[in-house]
A and B are shown apart, each in its own frame.
Chain A
Amino acid sequence: MSNVAPAWTALSPALLLGLTGLALLVVDTIRPNARSNTSMALVSALGALASLSVTVWFVVAGTGHADTGGAITLLDGAVKVDTLALFFTAIFASVTALVVVAAHDYFHDHPNPAAFYSLTLFAATGMALLAVANSLAVVFVALEMVSLPSYALVAFLKKNRGSVEAGLKYFLVGALSSAVFLFGISLVYAATGSLIFGEVASAVESLDALAGVAGIGIVMIVGGVAFKTASVPFHFWAPEAYEGAPAPVSAFLSSASKAAGFVVAFRVFTEAFPLGASLAAGIDWALAFAVVAAVTMTLGNFAAAVQEEVKRMLAYSSIGHAGYALIGLAALSTGSAGNEAVMGAAMAHLLVYGFMNTGAFLFVAMAERWGIGRTFEDYAGLARRAPVACTAMAVFMFSLAGLPPFAGFFSKYFLFMGAIENGFLWLAGLGAVNSVVSLYYYSRVVRALFLDDPATPSALDALDVRPTALYAAVVFAAVATVLLLPGFGPVIDAAEAAAAALF
């Protein structure tokens, strides 16, 4: 079909998101009185779902798939729509939908929610662009397009010191990282003389004196990626940002924004700096990722194990999961058949993670909506009053810990399998150790919800409201987390196909 429709329609998922955001902004500016939280949440949700359905349709129809004429390149090769792009666009769209729906209840008494919805949608647009970016220039622009709204979103509660502090730290670290990233790009440009991935790749094969320059540039690009994915050593913003930001924003950042960082990484490092060529030039970025992955997962999980606040624990756990996903890049080896498997597993993990982690943060959002505290003790005995939500939370926790019968089990174990297949036993072993630790702190949440008794009999009286939209989002995420186990086949197939297209 993509031959029938004009090529630009391939970008329609991104366009849909952007247009929805603009529309909200317009309505909000022209008729400030007409706006209602519900209607705008509805509109933005519809926009996100529309883009999701289009994406899914494309995937089913095989747009950009090798069978249908391969990837569609636009704008002089600066943009490229392929399975990888669609796969991640699907993640972004679904997370966005969940987040905006949840936000409806979260911001029920906020004076100006409109800004939130449009900012979210703009950030989502930027992610969608990241997914299709085929030039370092587009990558940087799209990255900023994701970052700038995110800063604002984190600091969205202007009167809340936590939110502001989080916003500041996120912004400062982010600005620094993007500067580093940009300088890295400039060095690569200096070394290769192009920004289009394909041309960069061919230039990398013939680097001579400038190998060092390109190497430094690549490492700096690694840094930029590490910032987006909240990986060591660019992770410092994450605990504070996730903790201080409004919970839906934390969900959005920790799921979608992280995935955005990974799509960049996957594409740039496979298409612009192919492993073989880079190694020939003495630039072993896989080693860099291996180190980063190892440190990241260990730091994230061990720090998460000793947190008192659930939200901050989730923040660290999300750092740990970044470490897992990085295995997808770290465990690559030149010309190995296992590459597709491991990178595909990483993608699948990010998809599943999109649901289970978003769900977890949305549960925290619900807790904040109820106005109960943030620590494990405050969550004690919640299951008595909110069994459904708590069951969903238990599902998220066990799935994050990688236990069946939930999707997190498959994605995590396939990731380890991939690492083992490529001979990275030590990485898989480290991952195993970490997931044991993670089992400990995830089960702490379940223990608080189901096993512990409330501190005071009146502790649970705060649960007076039933935030419907939040419930809907959480339950949907939970159902998705469960159903993705039996339905894992298509997911992993799509992911491996997408990965295969990169090598």
Chain B
Amino acid sequence: MILEALIGFTFLAALVVMLAPNAWAGRLAFALSAVPFVGSLYLWSRFDAVGNALTGGTIAFESRYEWVEVGGRTVSWFVGLDGISLPLVVLTTFLVPLAILSAWTPVDSRQSQFYGLMLFMEANLLGVFTALDFFLWFVFWEAVLVPMYFLIGIWGGPRRKYAAIKFFVYTNAASLLMFIGFMSLTFALGDSIGSLALPEITQALADGGLETWFGISPGRMAMVAFLATFAGFAVKVPIVPFHTWLPDAHVEAPTPVSVLLAGVLLKMGTYALLRFNFTMLPDQASALAIPIAAIAVISVVYGAMLALAQKDLKRIVAYSSVSSMGYVILGLVVFTEYGVGGATFQMVAHGLISGLMFMAVGVVYNATHTRMVGDMAGMADRMPVTVGILVAGAFGYMGLPLMAGFAGEFFIFVGAFGAPALPYAPVFTALAMFGIVIVAGYLLSAMQKTLFGPFRLETDYEIGPAPFHDVAPLAVLLAAIIVLGVAPDIFFEMIRDAAMPVVEGVSVDV
């Protein structure tokens, strides 16, 4: 019941805020959004799951009610947590209040709608990470699009409408592809499943429940389904070459929305990849290991190169997200404890760090009203604290040890280098690792140009330090990043526990 309470409360909060007067919608939303966070901390404290929810591990806070029965398959309300989903739930509930706080300054119109949509999105995100029934999961998965469309389209930048529609249509197309692929798979499972519950499907697949279906042999079916779902999720992640909606969306979206977009929405894609492609169809994944690793490496290097070419601070961070997601894919495809676990950890770490980066850039933008590298210089002179945290965050992004980013990346690298499941693993890993040099290159030069040197910015008003409610969330995020970097095991332990079954699921001839 607790999970229903969590999600339900968030939906309710969204409704309440939607109806609240603009004047204090922001404060109300912040106060309400604190509740789910406390709730998730409670979940964390009472967390008792063992193993992976899909592969027969014990599911924490499990609750299941039959909903609809269609075509001999029951669709049920089926939610629960395991070591992979809990960190992401905590991440979501942790980021949303901070994002709301960071919205106080920039969002100055239709506040109640804005904060209402933010909470509505949070509710759906929680649903995505907790749902264990395919259709329920898909409902939440699609429902996330709606608030995002409005949040980008109403409060976004000059080209907000283009960006919003692009994001909307592109990701929805991907979802449909994925839906058809996965549905065919479930029907090819024939009578070996009686519901669309993910654990049952995983079990049936593992037991070789696939039958020849309308002349499609099981092996072929699995491969087709894998490709369809992989492509579908690749858009969400996004992986090169399906990434072009991301920079547009990020640049146009207002700061708090970018925070959630980079912090949580991208993780939906990687989370889905882990849950569906790599947990349910591990053998197809390892059969395609080389091409997947190749696009992972391409994402890393190509994304970093693109970031190097950008002049807009937000675009830089956006492309570097593409790059970072490449690490996650690499970690998943190697099927080792540290690879898969590190990938999951990196989801959380990148969520925090990219959130911090977007937030800090946003705070600077609030003061300067420009994000162009050429337009400003020496901001450190005027807003020392913000810039200090921004620099810290940037180093976190570069994978500075004892910050969360390094932990995630190092886990992935150390897990990937000697991985038996991936041929030429050392080569791929070494290539991907070169990303840490490029990322340092573009972040450092961007910072040098904008933050340091003699102060220069044409404004007709005085630029001073940012208000407390802008800086506070930055500090909190930075603290969280350092804590996770110094003691990664607070999450990594449960993640490993849930990741091991995935690793063992693959049959590799070592």
Within 8 Å of chain A (Cβ to Cβ): is B491?
Answer: no
Instruction: Give the distance in Å from the alpha carbon of A420 to the alpha carbon of B179 in the complex.
Output: 11
- Contact at A413–B179, with CB atoms within 8 Å? yes
* CB nearest to B143 among chain A residues: A404
Instruction: Give the distance in Å from the alpha carbon of A367 to the alpha carbon of B207 in the complex.
Output: 58
Contacts of B187 in A (CB 8 A): 420-421
Within 8 Å of chain A (Cβ to Cβ): is B287?
Answer: no
Q: B273 → chain A, closest Cβ, in Å? A: 20
* Per-residue interface assignment for chain A, residues 396 to 424, with 1 indicating a CB less than 8 Å from any chain B CB and 0 otherwise: 00100001110001100110111011010
Task: Pick the contact of A436: B68, B173, B183 (CB < 8 A).
Answer: B173
| Stretch from A197-205, A206-214, A227-235, A427-435 forming part of the interface with B | A427-435
Contacts of B184 in A (CB 8 A): 420, 425
- Contact at A338–B153, with CB atoms within 8 Å? no
* CB nearest to A440 among chain B residues: B169
Task: Pick the contact of B153: A423, A450, A488, A496 (CB < 8 A).
Answer: A450
Task: Pick the contact of A337: B72, B135, B138, B154 (CB < 8 A).
Answer: B72
Within 8 Å of chain B (Cβ to Cβ): is A221?
Answer: no
Contacts of B468 in A (CB 8 A): none
Question: Within residues 373 to 402 of chain A, which ones have a CB less than 8 A from any CB in chain B?
Answer: 398
Contacts of B214 in A (CB 8 A): 423, 425
A436 touching B176 in the complex, CB below 8 Å, given contacts A418-B71, A423-B213, A489-B67: yes
* Most A C-beta atoms less than 10 A away, residue of B68, B70, B150: B70
Within 8 Å of chain B (Cβ to Cβ): is A195?
Answer: no
- Contact at B68–A443, with CB atoms within 8 Å? no
- Contact at B146–A417, with CB atoms within 8 Å? no
Within 8 Å of chain B (Cβ to Cβ): is A179?
Answer: no
Instruction: Give the distance in Å from the alpha carbon of A337 to the alpha carbon of B154 in the complex.
Output: 47
- Contact at A451–B179, with CB atoms within 8 Å? no
Instruction: Give the distance in Å from the alpha carbon of A409 to the alpha carbon of B179 in the complex.
Output: 13
Instruction: Give the distance in Å from the alpha carbon of A404 to the alpha carbon of B149 in the complex.
Output: 13
- Contact at A416–B183, with CB atoms within 8 Å? yes
| Stretch from B160-168, B275-283, B318-326, B377-385 forming part of the interface with A | B160-168
- Contact at B70–A414, with CB atoms within 8 Å? yes
Question: Interface majority SS on A: helix, strand, loop or mixed?
Answer: helix
A417 touching B69 in the complex, CB below 8 Å, given contacts A409-B142, A440-B165: no
Contacts of A418 in B (CB 8 A): 71
Within 8 Å of chain A (Cβ to Cβ): is B471?
Answer: no
Q: B194 → chain A, closest Cβ, in Å? A: 13
For the side of the interface on A, what is the size category? 35 or more
Task: Pick the contact of A432: B135, B145, B180 (CB < 8 A).
Answer: B180
Within 8 Å of chain A (Cβ to Cβ): is B172?
Answer: yes
- Contact at A451–B160, with CB atoms within 8 Å? yes
Contacts of B149 in A (CB 8 A): 443, 446
- Contact at A492–B150, with CB atoms within 8 Å? no
Question: Within residues 82 to 111 of chain A, which ones have a CB less than 8 A from any CB in chain B?
Answer: none
- Contact at A492–B142, with CB atoms within 8 Å? no
Within 8 Å of chain A (Cβ to Cβ): is B50?
Answer: no
Instruction: Give the distance in Å from the alpha carbon of A262 to the alpha carbon of B138 in the complex.
Output: 29
Within 8 Å of chain A (Cβ to Cβ): is B177?
Answer: yes
Within 8 Å of chain A (Cβ to Cβ): is B38?
Answer: no
* Per-residue interface assignment for chain A, residues 431 to 475, with 1 indicating a CB less than 8 Å from any chain B CB and 0 otherwise: 011011001100100110011100000000000000000000000
Contacts of A345 in B (CB 8 A): 70
B contact residues, total (Cβ < 8 Å):
35
Task: Pick the contact of A439: B140, B168, B177 (CB < 8 A).
Answer: B168
Instruction: Give the distance in Å from the alpha carbon of A337 to the alpha carbon of B153 in the complex.
Output: 44
Instruction: Give the distance in Å from the alpha carbon of A403 to the alpha carbon of B140 in the complex.
Output: 10
Task: Pick the contact of A488: B68, B146, B160 (CB < 8 A).
Answer: B68
Q: B503 → chain A, closest Cβ, in Å? A: 32
- Contact at A450–B172, with CB atoms within 8 Å? no
Within 8 Å of chain B (Cβ to Cβ): is A129?
Answer: no
Within 8 Å of chain A (Cβ to Cβ): is B487?
Answer: no
Contacts of B431 in A (CB 8 A): none
Contacts of A492 in B (CB 8 A): 68-70
Contacts of B138 in A (CB 8 A): 413
Contacts of A452 in B (CB 8 A): 161
* Per-residue interface assignment for chain A, residues 45 to 68, with 1 indicating a CB less than 8 Å from any chain B CB and 0 otherwise: 000000000000000000000000
- Contact at A451–B161, with CB atoms within 8 Å? yes
Question: Within residues 126 to 143 of chain B, which ones have a CB less than 8 A from any CB in chain A?
Answer: 135, 138-140, 142-143
- Contact at A420–B68, with CB atoms within 8 Å? no
- Contact at B169–A338, with CB atoms within 8 Å? no
Instruction: Give the distance in Å from the alpha carbon of A429 to the alpha carbon of B224 in the complex.
Output: 14
Q: B67 → chain A, closest Cβ, in Å? A: 6
Q: B367 → chain A, closest Cβ, in Å? A: 27
- Contact at B68–A338, with CB atoms within 8 Å? no
Task: Pick the contact of A451: B140, B154, B173 (CB < 8 A).
Answer: B154
- Contact at A439–B68, with CB atoms within 8 Å? no
Instruction: Give the distance in Å from the alpha carbon of A443 to the alpha carbon of B162 in the complex.
Output: 12
Instruction: Give the distance in Å from the alpha carbon of A429 to the alpha carbon of B177 in the complex.
Output: 8
Q: A340 → chain B, closest Cβ, in Å? A: 8
A425 touching B69 in the complex, CB below 8 Å, given contacts A439-B168, A447-B153: no
Question: Within residues 35 to 68 of chain B, which ones have a CB less than 8 A from any CB in chain A?
Answer: 67-68
Contacts of B69 in A (CB 8 A): 489, 492-493
Instruction: Give the distance in Å from the alpha carbon of A488 to the alpha carbon of B168 in the complex.
Output: 25
Contacts of A433 in B (CB 8 A): 176
Contacts of B72 in A (CB 8 A): 337, 341
* CB nearest to A451 among chain B residues: B153
- Contact at B180–A341, with CB atoms within 8 Å? no
* Per-residue interface assignment for chain B, residues 65 to 97, with 1 indicating a CB less than 8 Å from any chain A CB and 0 otherwise: 001111110000000000000000000000000
- Contact at A439–B172, with CB atoms within 8 Å? yes
* CB nearest to B170 among chain A residues: A436
Contacts of B168 in A (CB 8 A): 439, 443
- Contact at B180–A425, with CB atoms within 8 Å? yes
Contacts of A344 in B (CB 8 A): 70
Instruction: Give the distance in Å from the alpha carbon of A414 to the alpha carbon of B71 in the complex.
Output: 9
Instruction: Give the distance in Å from the alpha carbon of A433 to the alpha carbon of B176 in the complex.
Output: 8
Q: B404 → chain A, closest Cβ, in Å? A: 33
Task: Pick the contact of A410: B68, B165, B176, B183 (CB < 8 A).
Answer: B68
Beyond contacts A403-B146, A413-B138, A417-B183: 10 other A-B pairs, Cβ-Cβ < 8 A, are A337-B72, A341-B71, A410-B68, A414-B71, A416-B179, A416-B180, A432-B179, A432-B180, A443-B168, A492-B68
Pairs across A and B, CB under 8 Å, 13 listed? A338-B71, A341-B70, A403-B143, A404-B139, A413-B138, A416-B183, A417-B71, A425-B180, A428-B183, A429-B180, A440-B165, A443-B168, A447-B161
Q: Which 3 A-B pairs have the closest CB atoms?
A: A341-B71, A423-B214, A432-B176
